[in-house]
Amino acid sequence: MNLDLWYRQAVLSVAGSPRVEALIKTRARSLVRRYVAGESLEEALQAAERLEVQGVHAILDLLGEMVHREEEARAFQRGILELVRAVAERPWPKYISLKLTQLGLDLSEALARELLRGILREAEPKGVFVRLDMEDSPRVEATLRLYKALREEGFSGVGLVLQSYLYRTEKDFWDLLPYRPNLRLVKGAYREPKEVAYGDKRLIDAEFLHLGKLALKEGLYVAFATHDPRLIAEVQRYTQAMGIPKERFEFQLLYGVRPEEQRRLAQEGYTVRAYVPYGTHWYPYLSRRIAERPENLFLVLRSLLGG
């Protein structure tokens, strides 16, 4: 098995243990604050203000996913609507992100569609862009269906995510092309079986660049979500060589990850956004960040040993 795949699957498997979750929640709070802006909306807005001063825009995300009861989904919708109203009052670019399982996708597509529709009805008139995060492979098809359905209802201020590690993604790209989607391109952070996803980092990176270049050639707006200096440099080289203006794409990075790179890219005139998560449901998000890089595991161990 590829070493990168083995590491990611091992970390996500261990992170699923209730004992490990309890340990991290009680002894690694300083690490949490490195990647999560806080538990309240006010803390997230303050983090966004600090980024704006540096020329980096915020993508605000109320953390939550895979709810098991309709009341939870409706509570998350209320929280996201509160976020929409707060962002709408700010002078900086208005941009939020959400997960459909947060809105009850696992309970019913109809429920998720209803709640998402309610969010878009409030967000679009206020100029708030809504990004639908892509979750693990069993939920991709439903996410694509809901995106297409809402676009066909006339909503335009909504974007989608494609993951380069899934075998199916290029086909999904061509299926989506008639909708002219605003795309965020990521490698993918979920634990996936070898039957559906590449395990070799070189192949995942190659697909990332292939899909990104394909989207640019087709005239789509592309958000390249990566921290990999090699991939960022290749996007810069390719767009310059092809004469693609900086207004046609952007770079997106995670809050707390390579902040100096975020500032550097912004100073060079690129649109840069930092994904700013907040809320009390941060553990699944943190688990995936730990699984992405071995260095993050060392930070966890240091936090645990240091209390």
* 3-class secondary-structure state, position 181: coil
pLDDT digit string (tens) for 25-71?
A: 555 566 677 788 989 999 999 999 999 999 999 999 999 989 999 99
Is residue 133 part of the annotated active site? The answer reads: yes
Could you confirm whether 258 is annotated as catalytic? no
The domain segmentation of the chain, as residue ranges, is 1-36+286-307, 41-281
Annotated binding-site residue? 139:
no
For 267, other C-beta atoms within 10 Å of its C-beta total 11
* Phi, psi at 62, each rounded to 5°: -80, 110
User: Would you say 15 and 290 are in contact if contact means Cβ atoms under 8 Å apart?
Assistant: yes
Block residue for tokens 């789509």: 220
Catalytic residue among 131, 184, 191, 273: 184
Q: Rounded to 5 degrees, what angle do the CA atoms 76, 82, 86 make?
A: 145
**Per-residue confidence (pLDDT) for residue 305, from 0 to 100:** 47
Q: Nearest CA to 87 among 38, 52, 35?
A: 52
Q: Where are the alpha helices (DSSP H) in the chain?
A: 3-15, 18-27, 29-35, 41-53, 70-88, 109-123, 140-152, 169-176, 201-217, 229-242, 259-267, 283-292, 294-306
* Mean pLDDT over each residue of the chain, to the nearest integer: 89
Q: What's the DSSP call for residue 219?
A: T
pLDDT tens, residue by residue, 131-154:
999 999 999 999 999 999 999 999
Q: What's the rounded mean pLDDT across residues 117-144?
A: 97
pLDDT of 23 higher than 70: no
Section 5-20 average pLDDT? 58
| pLDDT 10s digits, 175-222 | 999 999 999 999 998 888 999 999 899 999 999 999 999 999 999 999
Whole-angstrom Cα Rg for the chain: 19
Q: Is 134 annotated as a binding residue?
A: yes
Q: What pLDDT score does 2 carry? A: 63
pTM equals: 0.87
Among 133, 136, 172, 205, the one annotated catalytic: 133
Annotation-wise, does 148 bind a ligand?
A: no
The rounded distance, in Å, linking the Cα atoms of 136 and 188 is 8
Percent of the chain with pLDDT over 70: 83
Question: How large a percentage of the chain has pLDDT more than 90?
Answer: 75
Structural fold of domain 41-281: TIM Barrel (3.20.20)
pLDDT at 151: 98
Query: In terms of residues, how long is the chain?
Result: 307
> Which 8-state DSSP code applies to residue 137?
G
Top-confidence residue, 288 or 14: 288
The residue with tokens 């005239």 is 219
Judge whether 137 and 197 are in contact, CB under 8 Å: yes
What is the C-alpha to C-alpha distance for residues 161 and 143, in angstroms, rounded to an integer? Answer: 10
Check the annotation: does 226 bind a ligand: yes
44 is in an annotated binding site: no
The structure tokens listed for 256 are 């707390």
